[in-house]
Structures are given as C-alpha cells and as structure tokens.
Chains A and B, each alone.
Chain A
Amino acid sequence: MDPKLDLPQGTLDLLILKAVSTGPLHGWAISERIHQVSEAVLQIPQGSLYPALHRLERRGWIAAEWGASDSNRRAKFYTLTRAGRRQLEAEAIAWDRLTAAVSLVMAMR
C-alpha cells in the first residue's frame, strides 16, 4: 500500500503553520519536517507548497527572511508571526474537534 496520503482540503496551511511554530525553516525543510514527523505518511505536494507559503505570508501569518542555510547558501526562512500563532491555535482547536468528531462517528456500531 502506498504510505502517502492525500492531504484533506485546508490542512496544508495548518501543517505549515505548525511546522514553522518551532523556529525558522526554509521551504524544503518545512516539507522534510512534515514528511519525517508524520513518519513518511504525509508528503507535501511540493508544487503547492510555495504558493501556500506566499499566501500565508500575504496574510501576515508567517514572516519571511533571507538567511544562510546549513550549507551556507542563501535561503528564505519562514517564521510564525503573532497573528500566525493565534491562527494556529484556532485552527488546531478546530482540527482537534473535527478529528474527535470524525472518530466518534467512525466508532459507531
């Protein structure tokens, strides 16, 4: 069975916000982080990663800054802003409620 799952609509933003909540990351690292943490189940569709990043930046939820990467190359690092943190909290709660509700329904006999 293919270990990769399609992301439900709207979860990409939540994942990105969560991924950058621990500290500045560049695009590739965000996708890697999600991939690893999800034990290789979630694969960010890379074509939509950058449009999503730019959209979030436009909304002011993440901020971008050019810095040096591990390999000392110029890379664009994304960090969570205050507004982004609020958004993340709100979305995380909504997500928890949704998944809890879905599991309740699925546990139905």
Chain B
Amino acid sequence: MLNEWWSDLKYRLRALVSRRVLDRELDDEVRFHLDLEARKLEQQGVPPAEARRRAVLAFGGVQAAKEASRDGRGLAWLDHARRDLRYAWRGLRTSPGFTVAVVATLALGLGANTAMFGIVDELLFRPPAYLRDPARVHRVFLESTDRNGRSSLPEMAYRRFLDLTRGTSSFTTTAAVFVSPLAVGTGRDVGEMPVGGVSASFFDLFDAPPVLGRYFSRAEDSTGNGAAVTVLSYGYWQGKLGADSTVIGRTVQVGPNEAVVIGITPPGFAGTESGAPPVLYLPINTFAASLIGRNDEYYRNYDWSWMQMLVRRAPDVTVAAAATDLTRALQTSWLEELALSPRSQPPLDVARPAVLVEPVLEERGPNQSSTSRVAGWVTGVTLIVLLIACANVANLLLARSLRRRREIALRIALGVSRARLAAQLLTESLLLATLGGAAGLAVGFWGSRLLRVLFLPDRPTGQPLGPRVLGLAFLATVFAGIATGLAPVFQNRRGDVASGIGGRELTPARSRLRAALLVAQAALSVVLLVGAGLFVRSLAEVRSLRLGYDAEPVVYVRTRLRGLNLPDEARADLARRLEDAARALPGIESASRALTVPFWLSRSSDLWVAGIDSVERLGHFGLQAGTADYFKTMGTRILRGRGITAEDRANTPLVMVVSEAMGQTLWPGRDPIGECVRVGADTMPCTTVVGVAENTHVRSFTSDPGLQYYLPADQFLPAEDGLLLRVRGRGADRAEEIRKQLQPLMPGTAYVAVMPLASIVAPNRRSWELGAAMFLVFGALALVIAAVGLYGVIGYGVVQRTREFGVRIALGASRPAILRMVVGDGFRFAAAGLILGGLIALFAGSRIGPLLFGIGPRDPLVFGTVTVALLVAAALASLVPAWRATRVDPNEALRSE
C-alpha cells in the first residue's frame, strides 16, 4: 500500500514538473502505435492512405485518448484549475465594474466578520499570554445558597483561599489574584493605576521568565507579612522608567508602600484578569495590607471576599475530580467559618456550598458580562451580513451567467462536461471570494481597531487578528466562494441548450432562484433592522430612565490616605475642611458628604422594625449617609416630609429618610413618616422616619427595587470622608480642576481623586449602547446591500424586457402604468421579505428579550419603522430602472432584434 502511494506520488510529481515532456512522449507513443497499426493493414493489402484512416478510426479519437491518458496521470485537475483560473481572471478583467461591486460587497461582509471574530476570540477564546497549558488552568467559583437564592461567585476571602489550598491535593499550583487601582508614584506623577496583587505561586502558572530580575519568593508573600517588593510590567518599565536596566533595587511608591523593584515581566504579559492589565504586581499579602491598612485579620477570618483563586490541575486529575476535591475542602472551610462567627453564613445543609471549576477566562465562567453576550449577538449579525452579501453576489453572478447563457450553451453543445462547467463557474466565484477575502482582511483590520474601542476599551492593542481569526476568515471566504458560485451552477444545470444558443426570447422566464435570493436578502435585512430598532429603543429608554438622581452635574470626591494613620477626629476634621473648601470653589452649587455612591460603593446595616420578624428577608436595603444638602446635590426629590437638615446633629433625635419603595415594603398601606426603625442592633434607640424620597437606581438599571434609606452623616459614621459636589454644567468638565484645587489640603502622601458620577454610571449602559451601535451599523449596511441587489435585479429585468415594454408602449400603455408595473415588482420582493423577515424576527425576539430594556421584543413601533424603511428602500431601488422603462422608445426597441 505504501509502495503504491509512493509510486503514485513520484508519478504525479514527475507529471507536474515535466508536463511538456510527458505530453511529447504521449504524442510519440500514439504516433508509433498508429504507424504500426497502419503498417499491419498495409501488409494485409490495404492502400496506405486508407490504412492510415482505418488505424486512426480503430484508435477511436486520438485527442480523447490523449486527454484520458492525461487524466490517468492524475493531474488533470491541476491543469484544469490553472486554465479555469486564467479564464476566470480574464473574464473578471473585462468587466471591472462587476468585479469591483462583487469584491467590495464581499469585503464588507467578510471584513465585518473578521473584525467581530477578533473581538469574540479575545473575549472568549484567546488564553492569557504566556499561560502554560491553558486547558489545565481554571478559575474557581464558589456556589452557595443564601436568602437571595443560589449564586456562584469567584470572589473569596484570603482565608478561604488558604483553606482550599491546604484542603486539596488535585493541583500542582493554586494561586491568588486581585487587580485593583492603587496610587502609583509620588508628587505630580501620582495616579491611580491597576495594580495586581498576586500570590508568589501566580507566576508559576506561566512560561514567562522575567526580562530582568526575578519574581516573588514564598518568603516575600508570607501570610500577614508581605514584603515591600514589586514586579513591574514591561509597559510601565518602558513608558515610565525609560527601560532603564538599572531599575532593579530602586523603589516605586505603590499605595502606602515604597516597594523595591525586583523584576520586570516580559512584553505583552497581562496576567489573567480581564480589563486593563496591571502596571505592576505586589505580593498579595502586601497588597491586602495596602488596601485595608493595619488590619491583619484578613487571613484569619472570612469577612472580606475580594480575591480570586486560580488552579492548575495535576496531570492525572479530571475537572470533575478537581471540583469534588475543592467542594470537600470548601465544606470543611465552611464549618470553620461557622465556628469562628456562627451567624455569618447559613448552615451547611442550607447553603450546600460547592465549587465550580471553570475556564481561566472570566468571560467563559458563569458570570458572563452582557458585553460578551452582546458580542455573541453581534457576531450573529455579522454572519447575517455575510449571508446577505453572499446572496447579493450570487445574484450578480447569476445575472452575469444569464448574460453568458449563449456562450455557456455553446460550450455544452461542444461537449464540455457539466462538471467541468460547474468547476469553471466555481473557480470564478472562488477567485472573487479570494479577492474579497483579501480586501476583507484590510477591512477587518481597521474594523477590529474600531470595535476594540467599543468592546475592549481597557485592553492594550495586542495582535488584532490571531491565527484562529485568520483561519476563520479563510473558512468564511471559502464558504462565500462556494455559496455564491452554487447559484449559477444550479441555474446552468437546468439550462436548455437549444434555447440558449437561440437566445431570442421575448420575455425570458424570470429566475425563481434570483427572486428567492432577493427575498432572503430583504428578510435578513428586516431581521437586522428590527434588532437595531429594538436596541435603539432600549437605549433611549435606558437614557431617559429617571435614576432618582442626576448623574451629569455631580462629581464624587474621595480621599486616599495611603496608610496615613489619622485618628477619627483628624479624619472628620479633614472631611469638613474638604467640604468647606469644595463649597467655596467657583461654580459649585452644593456639596454633601456621602457614605456611598451609586454603582460604585454600597453599604447596608441590620434593621429592626416592630412587627417584622426579619427585615433582611424583605430585600437588600441600601444605606446612604449625607449632610444637609445631600438631596439638593444629587437631585433626588423628597416626596413627603423633609430631607436631612443642618439641624440633624449627633446630639439631636435620630432621623432617617426612606425611599418610597422601602416605605411601601416595610409599612404597606401606611404612611412611613413617624415610624421607628432601629439601625445596627435591636437595642438601639428609635430612628424616626421624617421623609420619603423618590426611588433610585443605585445597583442596576434593570432590576433595582430601589430600597434605600438616608441617615444624617453627623448621626452615622461621622468620620466618613466621601464628598459629592453638584457643579454648574457637566461634572466631567470640572473634575480635574476641582482635584487640583483640593489636593493641597491633603496631608503627606495622601491624595484626592475626583470622579464624575456620569462616568461611573455610564459603563452600566454599555451593553445597550454597543447593541444599538452595532445593530444599526450592520442593519444599515445590510439594507444598502439589499437595496443595491434589488436595484440590480430590477434594472436587469428592465433591460431584458425592453422589447416587451416597447410593445406595450406601442400598444398604448401609459408611462405611469409602466412605472407602476416595475415599481410594483420591487414592492413585491420587499413585501415578501418583510413577511418572512418579520416572522423570523418575531420568533427570534424571545431570545433577545433579556438584553432589551423597557420594551418588548415585539415592539410595534420598531416593526412599523422597519416596514417603512424597507418599502422606501425598495421604492428608491426600483424607481430608477422603472423610469428607464418608461423611456423605452418603441421604434428602437422593436427594431433592435
């Protein structure tokens, strides 16, 4: 068998290399045969000329035999392919307009896909750079049931990480990681940058030897006592330190620590977390101390769930076995936690804690962001755009092959096999697809840059189109080539040779295939436009949603003491001075201290209300503390009673303002004003409800019951030092100026950060913004492609029916009647597409429902608008050819053939 293959290969290679020699040899061989045959006949007494004739006759078609012998060489396909390619290329060069139209259409379709593949690849498939054997590295999720139901979260306490590491044997590496902004640098250069707190084992997950120096040792990351050392990212080292090779041993101010640089990561190393990659790394024990000051309890108790755990499975351990191992360890850890603080968690049989062993990429885990889900939808959208582009190109190719009917019929009559003909047509479409794919790569390259800004704003621009993306783009190109080529092939299979050669039909039968393609294009455009409409409406709803406060004019000012240990009075004093200074700034309308910030910081406290067993069970009640101008600053309306005033001091009766929803939840059907709530413990004195405020969205746009209560800052946690300012104009325009004015008040290395509230709230709208933008762009693209396709088909039909129109006009048909006839054709296609696409959209709507906001997936306004848009596009696309049809001169039309 092997021998046979080898001989086959040798033969084919020889045939490939010395095709001409083989052809000549074949000629010689056949001539020799004919000579011998003729001589034999001559010897039997046949005259020479006749002998020759009979010899050739007996051979039975010298050319066919030669052709068959060449086929026997197994190389015919190559030969044919070369000829087909040359033929196709010549054909395309003679009709540049057609070629450009097809290549541009395919380039848009393929480019959109390439770009989107790139985004999805990066979000969901590309493992972190340098990660060794990514399939064995996992992110650990803890699953448990509490009063809010069952949830799975990746965050855990450091103590839990220690328990799970000690309690398992399935892993070669367990690592802890947490990325958070910390102040890096000193003086004017200070800024908050993402810093990675990682266990010393973290770098063992990678094959990423440091460019300079080394990574953390176990001793530098010892529990409760991290060393002040840091590993810099390559980017930070290059950008901020000028790639100075003597940097090892120097110090960088990170949070409260002066950390000694011990190593530099290789270029492109970005850790394992999504979002902006860390500029530098600290041992996670050092990091924990930076975040929570001197509190060294974080490795003893379970209060603070913050870091995430990564594991590398040992070679012989399955994912399921790893999960079982971790779950067992988690149960032990759970019991230890309950022993430490009995009320902190539900008991084991209620919580049923379990561990999920998920892929290392965050977006692949159970808590996928809506950005990823929208990215998935948009990929579907780009595939539809590609389908529309293919349908359009198939239609153009069909029109072209109809024009070439006579030529093709002639070739069939001359004995070209249908298979060869099909191969030829496919070669043409594949050539077009390849050109389109090449142009599409350029489109995809630029497109992916654009899309990155939308989908991955914090990621550094890496390699935009990896090998996986290029592979997919190649597959899409081949698909496009074959899909577009099939239509003409089928058309010709049914071709009738005689009528093709005759080529004189008064009204050529309309191609049902072309009509089907057009309707499909229109239908798919309808689907996309409906999607666009739904997202645009959702976005409008989200934007006009009354949050219960104004985000635009508000800025949030917070202080970072960087380990500076101020007594409570000094902190309160600093807060008051900051508030006074801020109030004195020009353009500040009002200011209030604040404990929490919508979508950023939340707090809660235990509540006791007479007649209610467990307030907790009724929902999550958010706590806000503010000063007298709080409601004015935020723009939250007081519906009844009063807000917080300057008279609500530490020594006056305790008061609170509740949201309308909270009032209705705790005292249904009663006026909450005057009711008593005990805050923090059931032995506390009454806090009296004095006002009802409107509901606010502070945790989610979609599902936030708005259970919120407000306490005077002087009566609750007076040392808190967050500050909300309401400015004239947009907060975003004033933030930097305010920061510069307030910074001089800060003692030592402490600093102040100013964030516009709008920039905190806006990212929560991103998925709708993305959906609206992407669906709109691709929907419009689809509509344009479909309209151009319709224009092409109607226009072609008009040219074909020139004689018919001539006859009609000669017989007295009015020009408006002709116009109506042609435009009516266009409308028929559009109507069929509308019905089909509308049905698909209705069907698919239920799946997209969860991503929408404030409207149903069957919103009549959206469907109505799309109907109008499609009909207008159809009218525009068919009016020009229709007008041309009315211009037909009967004399000329009837004489032309």
Contact = CB atoms under 8 A, between A and B. Distances in A.
Interface stretch (B65-73, B338-346, B649-657): B65-73
Contacts of A33: none
A59 B7 contact: yes
Interface in A50-70: 50-55, 57-60, 66, 69
Interface in A4-53: 26-28, 32, 45-53
Contacts of A49: 65
B30 interface: yes
B315 interface: no
Given A45-B60, A60-B7, A60-B8, A50 B32 contact: no
A47 B68 CA distance: 9
Given A60-B3, A60-B7, A47 B74 contact: no
Given A28-B36, A50-B30, A51-B65, A83 B60 contact: no
A28 B32 contact: yes
Interface in B19-42: 25-26, 28-30, 32-33, 35-37, 40
A96 B35 CA distance: 36
A75 B32 contact: yes
B7 A50 contact: no
B13 to A, nearest CB: 11
Contact of B72 (A45, A47, A58): A58
Contacts of B4: 59-60, 83
Contacts of B66: 50
A47 B64 CA distance: 8
Contact of B11 (A32, A50, A58, A83): A58
B3 A50 contact: no
B600 interface: no
A51 B59 contact: no
Interface in A69-93: 69, 73-76, 83
Given A46-B58, A47-B61, A58 B12 contact: yes
Interface residues of B, number: 31
A50 B29 contact: yes
A60 B6 contact: yes
Interface string B58-101: 11110011101101111000000000000000000000000000
A30 to B, nearest CB: 10
B662 to A, nearest CB: 87
Contacts of A48: 65, 68
Contacts of A51: 65, 68-69, 71-72
Contact of B69 (A50, A66, A75): A50
**Listed residue (A26, A47, A75) with the most chain B CB atoms within 10 angstroms of its CB:** A47
B72 A54 contact: yes
A47 B65 contact: yes
A17 to B, nearest CB: 14
A58 B64 CA distance: 19
Interface string B528-547: 00000000000000000000
A93 B59 CA distance: 31
Contact of B74 (A26, A58, A69, A74): A58
B60 A27 contact: no
Interface string B248-263: 0000000000000000
B72 A74 contact: no
**Listed residue (B6, B11, B33, B59) with the most chain A CB atoms within 10 angstroms of its CB:** B33
Given A51-B69, A52-B72, A58 B8 contact: yes
A57 B59 CA distance: 21
A52 B65 CA distance: 10
Interface string B703-740: 00000000000000000000000000000000000000
A73 B32 contact: yes
A26 B37 CA distance: 13
Nearest to A30: B33
Nearest to B72: A54
Interface string B487-514: 0000000000000000000000000000
B29 A57 contact: no
A66 B32 CA distance: 12
A101 to B, nearest CB: 27
A76 B7 contact: no
A98 to B, nearest CB: 23
A69 B29 CA distance: 12
B32 A26 contact: yes
A52 B73 CA distance: 10
Contact of B73 (A26, A47, A54, A60): A54
A32 B30 CA distance: 15
Contact of B37 (A28, A50, A52): A28
B32 A54 contact: no
Nearest to B55: A46
Nearest to B12: A58
Contacts of B68: 47-48, 50-51
A55 B7 contact: no
A75 B821 CA distance: 72
Contacts of A66: 25
A43 B73 CA distance: 24
**Listed residue (B40, B64, B65, B66) with the most chain A CB atoms within 10 angstroms of its CB:** B65
Contact of B60 (A46, A52, A53, A58): A46
Nearest to B75: A58
Nearest to B65: A47
Nearest to B74: A58
Contact of A76 (B25, B58, B60): B25
B701 to A, nearest CB: 70
Contacts of A52: 72
B35 to A, nearest CB: 8
A55 B36 CA distance: 23
Contacts of B40: 32
A74 B35 CA distance: 12
B490 to A, nearest CB: 31
A47 B74 CA distance: 17
**Listed residue (B32, B60, B66, B73) with the most chain A CB atoms within 10 angstroms of its CB:** B32
B375 to A, nearest CB: 51
A108 to B, nearest CB: 38
Nearest to A70: B36
A63 B653 CA distance: 112
A69 B35 CA distance: 12
Contacts of A74: 28, 32
Contacts of A59: 4, 7-8
Contacts of B30: 50
B70 to A, nearest CB: 8
Contacts of A27: 29, 32-33
B65 A76 contact: no
**Listed residue (A50, A57, A66, A76) with the most chain B CB atoms within 10 angstroms of its CB:** A50
Given A28-B32, A75-B32, A47 B59 contact: yes
A59 B60 CA distance: 25
Given A46-B33, A66-B25, A75-B29, 14 more contacts: A26-B32, A27-B29, A47-B64, A50-B66, A50-B72, A51-B72, A52-B72, A53-B69, A58-B8, A58-B11, A60-B6, A60-B11, A74-B32, A83-B7
25 contacts: A26-B33, A27-B33, A46-B33, A46-B58, A47-B65, A47-B68, A48-B68, A50-B29, A50-B69, A51-B65, A51-B69, A51-B71, A54-B69, A55-B72, A58-B8, A58-B11, A59-B4, A60-B4, A69-B32, A73-B32, A75-B32, A76-B29, A76-B32, A83-B3, A83-B4
Interface of B: 3-4, 6-8, 11-12, 25-26, 28-30, 32-33, 35-37, 40, 58-61, 64-66, 68-69, 71-74
The 5 A-B residue pairs with the shortest CB-CB distance, nearest first, are A60-B7, A47-B60, A54-B72, A51-B68, A51-B72
